[in-house]
Structure 1
Amino acid sequence: MSSYRPSLLLLSLLLLLPGVSGCWNYAEVDDMSIVAGVAIDKDKKAGKLLITTELFDTKGELQQNQASFKIVTLSGDTMFDIVRNMISMTGKKLFWSHSKAIIISEEIAREGVIRVIDWYSRDTETRSDVYIYVSGEPTARALLNMNGTSEMIMSFELAQMMRNETHVSTAPVVEIWDFIDKLESEGKSAMAPIVSIYANNKQKNERVYGTAIFSNDKMVGIVSGEESKYLLFAKDDVKGGVLVVGNESGVPTYSLEILKSATKLKPRWVNGRLQMHVQVLVETGLDEVMTAEGFNNFSDVQSIEQRGEEEVRQRIAAIIQKLQQEYHADVLGYGEIVHQEMPKLWKKISKNWPQEFAEMDIEVEAKVVIRSSAKTSRSIKMGD
């Protein structure tokens, strides 16, 4: 896990900017607790909301780079009520303009998220580009409570992971403005990444892996990180990652780095039924061969490409079917595409879109191209 110092330096520079412009001075900064992130749970005993904030407090002059971190938890009836009452615990007003993460518990997500994000969308001090997550742990605060020392700002760590998620494509990158837009738009459903605690050899780290699926404002299911990759393929949102392709026996053998991906989506009306044609092109580089045989000619490359194409096609079809049959949730935005390209039809079916989406025929085509084989076409061979 990276040190908190780069985040601290960046934050210090950001805090200095308003001072230069004269908006507020060091004394005003000293009177604020800077919110790095917030976790939202349910207080089961009281039946209220339970809010946990990760706070960054400056001490003295900013140029000394002295800071402390603390976790503050308080329950209440509404978000604004809790946020305002936290002043009685911190002695300072909370400053939200540098917040990076909103983590919502699965329990809250399944009950409905509008009541906990409405304040965030209205308040003038909050940011619209903060990342939103659903906790894969029993509580959302468990993630922030990993910050047991001042060695890291957990919310900043999560934000950095989101910025690098495009290299992995095992979870969607979702800012709160986009999440709210999906909730408010006809023909769309929202989704959010899952963040969990990953334990290995007694060390614990946060991990973003998987997707929470929403219908209206309620979470209705989860898809795994591997399924999320093909979900992102299905909505033309893959920027990078790795495709693992098996050999002729199906044993995982080849690692293809995704260099470029493009998905074309075309709605059709075929034999009285709505159909979505999904055409995926994936350009890759062959980065790993887990066999001593390697590959020696063009036909070997073609064989790997063909198996990769079948893998991509089947996995995309499977995740779309899961969204249709299990969740009735169009997180892919296919309704919006139908609206744009077939407006007359959309006018007839829009009111019943969840059911129309569930019954829509899907046709998937996939093309995988290996553009390079890195530095060599040989595999490592043992000497005699």
Structure 2
Amino acid sequence: MRTWGSVLILVVCALLLGGCWDRTEINDLAIITAAAVDKAEESEIVLSIQVFIPRAVGGPGLGGPTGSSERALTTILSAKGENIADAMSKVQSKLPRKIFWGHCKVYLFGEAVAKDGIAGHIDFLVRHPEPRNRAYLYVSKGKAGEHLGNNSLLERSTAEALRELASLHLGMAVTLIDFRNMLNGESRAVVLPYIEAGSKLEKPAQIQENTLLLGSAIFRKDKMIGVLSTKATRGLLWLRDEIIRASISVQIPAGQGRVSVMPIRGKTKLIPAIEDGKWSILVKIEAEGDIVENGTKLDMMEMSSNALVQKAVEDDVRSRIELALYHLQKELNADVTNFAAAFHRKYPQKWHEAKQNWDKIYPQIEVSTQIHITVRRPGLVTDSVGHPGSHDKRK
């Protein structure tokens, strides 16, 4: 009886050993690290993909052959098609390996194709089983494919550089699943980071001269309708409660100079109200920060100096919010501020009755702000280094 039990166990184990019959070796894959979609003639698009070259990373030895760092780590392939699926099949015909989307970190869309609408392209990326939902999206000024061939100063590829840029949260950071959620949200308005044309970032001197992040691209439904500047984008980040890393430099007239404050934490609450048919919303912001630079004569240990800095920072944040709202409400009429969701949560019945007219209601909403910034720490010194005062205790 024990013998038959042992045989049965061996048979079951043998059946489990067949689990790798449909395996795909990594050597059989063409790994995409970034993809770009641009507009072509008539109704076609151009799909460009950045493919990783594994041989450029290592060699026979553990560290790879001498001079291997000079070899390209990626290669670019492009093809035209009616949509991404059509273009991808044509790119596949140029490669001996199966295209694999699972490691694609960023998707870029040219400005022209963004203005035509990108819902169909997003549908492919969320419907196909391989693309990552957490990959980042960008809109490029000019042609998006130009970015894929550029060299990054620090990273191995432009895909890695753009992924790192998004993780810094200096501007909007939008993933594939974020885009889908915004597109299916109450206002059906979308915002994506907007970057400089790749042709202006080809050489180190150009990278030094030009800024990669230009602001935000605003979409009504799936079509790009305008751009917010970097300053207005900062105001939008405060409104969306997405501000994470942002140095705020303000002029202090009483101190004859500028002070820079780095927020360490912040919270934005949207408090909607409907009274007598009038829609309004209160933007309440509570934040804390540290002084990272003092170019004034003020002693930051004094309460009066601290109060001057806090008031100046609050005014700066308020001006950025007002700038963002002016463009979004008066010019673009695109609710990427999450106002629709706030009214929906608090007034579900009234929202249900008025949601068809949201495009008319949103520009008329009165927005008031209540901003309180607390400066917690003045830094390692009290007085300005260039203007030592009577409270300077250094020896």
Compute the TM-score of the two structures, normalised by the length of structure 1. 0.85
Which stretch of structure 1 is more off in the superposition, 214-223 or 148-157? 148-157
1:370 to 357, 372, 375: 375
Counterpart AA for 1:287: V
Q: 1:43 & 1:364 partners in 2: Cα distance?
A: 45
Match of 1:133, SS state, is strand
Partner residue of 1:194? 194
Q: Hey, what does 2:25 align to over in structure 1? A: 28
Contact 1:292 1:380 in 2 (8 A): no
Which secondary structure state, in structure 1, belongs to the residue aligned with residue 129 of structure 2?
A: coil
State whether structure 2 residue 151 is matched by structure 1 residue 154.
no
For residue 119 of structure 1, report the CA deviation from its aligned partner: 1.1
Q: Within 2, Cα distance between the matches of 1:261 and 1:160? A: 23
Which residue does the alignment assign to 2:147?
143
- CA deviation digits over 1:174-211, x for unaligned, max 9? 00111011112223411111122565872437723411
- Counterparts of 2:140 and 2:368 in 1: how far apart (Å)? 34
* Equivalent residues in 2 for 1:1-384, closer than 5 Å: 22=20, 28-44=25-41, 47-59=43-55, 68-136=73-141, 138-147=142-151, 152-165=156-169, 168=170, 171-196=171-196, 197=198, 202-204=205-207, 207-248=212-253, 253-295=258-300, 297-381=302-386
Partners of 2:32 and 2:103 within 8 A in 1: yes
What SS class does the counterpart of residue 212 from structure 1 fall into? strand
Corresponding letter in the other structure for 1:363: S
**Any conservation in 2 of the 1:213–1:220 contact (CA below 8 Å)?**
yes
Quote the offset at 1:68 in angstroms.
Answer: 4.3
Specify the code of the residue in structure 2 equivalent to 1:380.
V
1:292–1:379 CA contact under 8 A, matched in 2? yes
**Higher strand fraction (1 or 2):** 1
Q: Would the alpha carbon gap of residues 181 and 221 (structure 1) be closer, same or farther in structure 2, given more than 3 Å must change?
A: same
1:58 Cα deviation after fit = 3.1
For residue 351 of structure 1, give the secondary structure of its aligned residue in structure 2.
helix
2: distance between equivalents of 1:133 and 1:148?
17
Equivalent position SS for 2:324: helix
1:18-41 CA deviation, whole Å, 9 max, x = no partner? xxx95876x722121100010110
- Decide whether aligned partners of structure 1 residues 115 and 292 sit closer, same or farther in structure 2, where only a CA change above 3 A counts: same
C-alpha distance in structure 2 between counterparts of 1:355 and 1:78, whole Å:
34
Stretch moving more, 210-219 or 197-206 = 197-206
Matched to 1:181, the amino acid is: N
Could you tell me whether the CA contact under 8 Å between 2:52 and 2:75 is conserved in 1?
A: yes
Which amino acid is 1:43 matched to?
Answer: A
Q: Secondary structure in 1 aligned to 2:363?
A: helix
- What TM-score comes out, normalization by structure 2 length? 0.83
Contact between 2:256 and 2:297, CA under 8 Å: does it hold in 1? no
The 2-side partners of 1:284 and 1:161 are apart by 22
Say which SS state the counterpart of residue 89 (structure 1) adopts. Answer: coil
Change over 3 Å in CA distance of 1:251–1:37 after alignment to 2: farther
Q: Which runs of 5+ in 2 are unaligned?
A: 1-18, 65-71, 389-395
Give the paired residue count. Answer: 356
- What CA distance in whole angstroms lies between the structure 1 residues aligned with 2:161 and 2:123? 25
Deviation at 1:381, TM superposition (A): 2.9
**Residues 221 and 249 of structure 1: is their aligned pair in 2 closer, same or farther, counting only changes over 3 Å?**
farther
In structure 1, runs of 5+ residues without a counterpart are 1-20
The structure having more radius of gyration, on CA atoms, is 2
Q: Measure how far apart 1:229 and its partner are.
A: 1.2
Identity %: 24
Q: CA RMSD in A?
A: 2.8
Query: Cα gap change, 1:69/1:318 in structure 2, threshold over 3 Å: closer, same or farther?
Result: closer
Q: Check the 8 A contact 1:69/1:150 in 2, yes or no.
A: no
> What is the CA distance between 1:151 and its match in structure 2?
7.4
Contact 1:188 1:332 in 2 (8 A): no
Using the alignment, how far apart are the partners of 1:150 and 1:289 within structure 2?
31
Partner residue, 1:14: none
1: CA distance between counterparts of 2:263 and 2:89? 47
Instruction: Give the letter for the 1:50 counterpart.
Output: V
Structure 1 distance, partners of 2:383, 2:272, is: 44
For the residues of structure 2 that align with 1:236 and 1:382, how far apart are their CA atoms? 37
Task: Tell me if the contact between 2:46 and 2:81 (Cα under 8 Å) persists in the aligned partners.
Answer: yes
Deviations for 1:59-100, whole angstroms, at most 9, x for unmatched residues?
Answer: 499996879420011111121011112122122221000000
In the other structure, the counterpart of 2:10 is: none
